[in-house]
Structure 1
Amino acid sequence: MDWLDILLSAALWLTLVLTAAFSLFMLWVFLRYVGIIVRIFQEKPIFIIPRGDPIPEAEDVMFPTTDGLRLAGSYLHTPCERRLGVVLFGTEYGSNRWSCLQYCRQLLEEGFDIFTFEFRNCGDSECLPDYEPLQWVTNYEVEDVLAAVRYLKSRPDVDPRGIGFFGVSRGGGAGIIAAAQEPFIRCVATDGAFATISTMVPYMQRWISLYSLFPNAYRILPRWIYVLAAEMALWRLARQRRCRFPSLERAISKIAPRSLLMIHGGADNYIRPEWAQQLFERAGEPKELWIVPHAKHNQAVQVAGKQYQERIAHFFRTHLAGGRRTRLDRPQIVKRS
């Protein structure tokens, strides 16, 4: 029994020492690296942001958010007599609401109404004081998508079946998180969507050697260490910017049993296709992932051309206009005011 007591005591002391050592190590990581991560996290990528010209026949509106802002939106009516459904479009970071046309042209021609809007602090939408949007999804962008859904519910020509959502890059991520909370969104399509932590960690693992005194040692650290450091950085950044960075990784698993289509550029140097694949694997069925060869970030619509338009139209015909299980699922004749 004496030897057993000694072994148990030694094991206990070893556990305490290792716990203390790990705590000191994470404190050192926080003090040395979290500030660097926060600074890099706020750097804005350099890429071409598409912008469109105003569409004269669009119905321009302003609609409220729960925190008192008014956002600018435009409702595009299909020229078809029978409406197949309504699709809410989420723009990419820095773009205006008119950029939707290059993505949604065939949807309009085939019978879908499109509602597009500008996130807060962008275009004609009102600004939240002391908030500077980044390319990362925060609770503010999610609230803006939910505000757009509430507006569509309030319209006299509301589609009682619900709506579809189609978003690009940050707009796609915000839509996934909003759809996890809002069952009125019946299906979701995204192009270039990405999660925050899942994107930060590979960059941290890649560039740690530029800032580390012991670069080789950091290469053997398990992934969860980097995840914890990234979460520390987000916690500090959230306090500084007075916002939250919701988890797209958790939200995407809540889309099912509604349908999900993810489109991603096969030559995307910002968000690698394998990261999109990892995010896609978190979603439940039914789901589709289309990697467009040779397309860079948000360039799949230019590279794939007509095939892109047809793929999007087929998705919403199948999952928004199709599946007619009740009388509400029939195409609607909508009276234009």
Structure 2
Amino acid sequence: MFIPRVNYVPETSAEKQKYADQYYEYVDWFKKIPHETWYLNEHEPKKRLVATFIQHPDHLKKTVIISHGYKGNRETMANYAHMFYNMGFNVLLPDDRAHGDSAGEYINFGWLDRLDYLNWINKLIAVKGEDEKILLFGVSMGGATVEMLSGENLPTQVKAIIADCGYSSIKEEMTYLLKEQFHLPEYPIEPLVSTINRQRLGFYLGDVSSIDQLRKNRRPILFIHGGKDTYVPVKMAYENYRATKAPKQLWIVKNATHAESFWYNPEAYQHRVGQFLKTYF
């Protein structure tokens, strides 16, 4: 969708402003916790990708890799990092291409990012050892990123996936937003954007599908989605859920809007995630 990078995190929606104090408490924790900075392509400025790694003191040989949302960065996932850290996980938080401290001119909505995450997984195994157990977790665009990653040939160390409010395909998501938010038709906008995207990033919007990737998925997966999500419609959660033949669970958080499920009830969120991990991790 050739959206150029933005070098700031946009304001959150009005309905999420009420969580601001809690959010900044998590960010403070994130800034103070001992951590390492990891890189991919460290010596190639135009391709350099950056991540924060937080080692849990208990050394339980399990790491969650957390994928952030559209125009977010690793710091915006501090609340999830805190939750998983409290559950005994090491935490690896990358900045996607064209986000945060990573290089890149254009946001690619998870499609090229999925290959970067494959490289982060391999780096993690190289650093932490073959016996590291890995969980993939993402929200919004990050949810779609881990869904798209699920169809790749993942190392055996990857044990499970949690995708919170990911879209089923970029084309469907764009068409939905054109209609709902901008009252515009799919044609001629989508084909035009798709063609420019092919020139800039090497793929058409129609090439990018969580559903197609989930059909190849073999890992247990938990889908989470807000029942009042008007940004990524809840029907996409059902489409994604139906697509995979792997062990799967779907949790619709009835009154939550987009990416609000955690904030709506953090205890319930952690409990549900914990139950899933107890069964499959």
User: Normalised by the size of structure 1, how large is the TM-score?
Assistant: 0.66
Residue 266 of structure 1 is aligned with which of 227, 231, 237? 227
User: How many correspondences in the alignment?
Assistant: 257
| C-alpha spacing 1:318/1:207, structure 2 compared with 1 (3 Å) | closer
Quote the offset at 1:233 in angstroms: 4.4
Q: Give the deviation of 1:204 after TM superposition.
A: 5.9
Alpha-carbon deviation of 1:202?
A: 4.2
Instruction: After TM superposition, list the pairs within 5 Å mapping 1:176-191 onto structure 2.
Output: 176-184=147-155, 185-191=158-164
Contact residue 55 and residue 98 of structure 1 kept, 8 A: no
User: 1:239 corresponds to which residue?
Assistant: 198
Are residues 122 and 201 of structure 1, via their aligned partners in 2, closer, same or farther at CA, if it must alter by over 3 Å? Answer: closer
Query: Which residue of 74, 99, 116 corresponds with 2:76?
Result: 99
Counterparts in 2 of 1:298-337, with a 5 A limit? 298-320=259-281
Please, which of 131, 153, 171 is the counterpart of residue 160 of structure 1? Answer: 131
CA RMSD in angstroms comes to: 3.2
Distance change >3 Å, CA 55–CA 100, structure 1 → 2:
farther
Q: Give, as a single letter, the amino acid of the residue that structure 2 aligns with 1:255.
A: N
- DSSP-derived class of the 2:215 partner: helix
Q: What whole-Å deviation, never above 9, does each CA across 1:70-98 have from its counterpart, x for those lacking one?
A: 211111122335x1521111111222212
Normalization by structure 2: what TM-score? Answer: 0.78
**Per the alignment, do residues 167 and 211 of structure 1 end up closer, same or farther by CA in structure 2, a change over 3 Å counting?**
closer
1:120 aligns with 2:97: yes
**Which amino acid letter does the alignment assign opposite residue 159 of structure 2?**
R
Q: Name the CA distance, whole Å, in 1 between partners of 2:194 and 2:243.
A: 24
Query: Within 2, Cα distance between the matches of 1:211 and 1:70?
Result: 37
CA distance in 2, matches of 1:182, 1:229: 36
Shift of 1:270: 0.8
Cα distance in 1 for partners of 2:144, 2:184 equals 30
Q: Residue 241 of structure 1: SS of its match in structure 2?
A: helix
Q: What displacement does 1:303 show?
A: 0.2
Match of 1:254, SS state, is: coil
Secondary structure at the residue paired with 1:180? Answer: coil
| Deviation string, structure 1 residues 212-261 (Cα, Å, up to 9, x no partner) | 7xxxxxxxxxxxxx7x98874464132342332422120011113x1011
Q: Tell me which of 73, 79, 87 is aligned to 2:51.
A: 73
Amino acid corresponding to residue 190 of structure 1 in structure 2: A
Indicate conservation of the 8 Å contact 2:165/2:258, yes or no.
Answer: yes
| Higher fraction of helix | 1
Are the equivalent residues in 2 in contact too, given 1:80–1:110 (CA < 8 A)?
A: no
Q: Distance in 2 between matches of 1:309 and 1:74?
A: 22
For residue 309 of structure 1, report the CA deviation from its aligned partner: 1.4
1:196 Cα offset (Å): 1.3
Partner residue, 1:218:
none
State the one-letter code of the partner of 2:197: A
Q: Larger C-alpha radius of gyration, 1 or 2? A: 1
Gaps of 5+ in 1: 1-37, 213-225, 321-337
Aligned identity (percent) is 22
Distance in 1 between residues matched to 2:255 and 2:193, nearest whole Å: 32
For 1:155-201, what per-residue CA distance to the aligned partner results, in whole angstroms no more than 9, with x for missing partners?
0x224354110011111211222231132232110111112133234
Structure 1: distance between partners of 2:257 and 2:180: 20
Residue 171 in 1 paired to residue 132 in 2?
no
* Regions of 4+ moved over 4 Å: 201-208, 228-231
1:117-144 residue CA offsets vs partner (Å, 9 max, x unmatched): 111222222x23xx3216x3332x2222
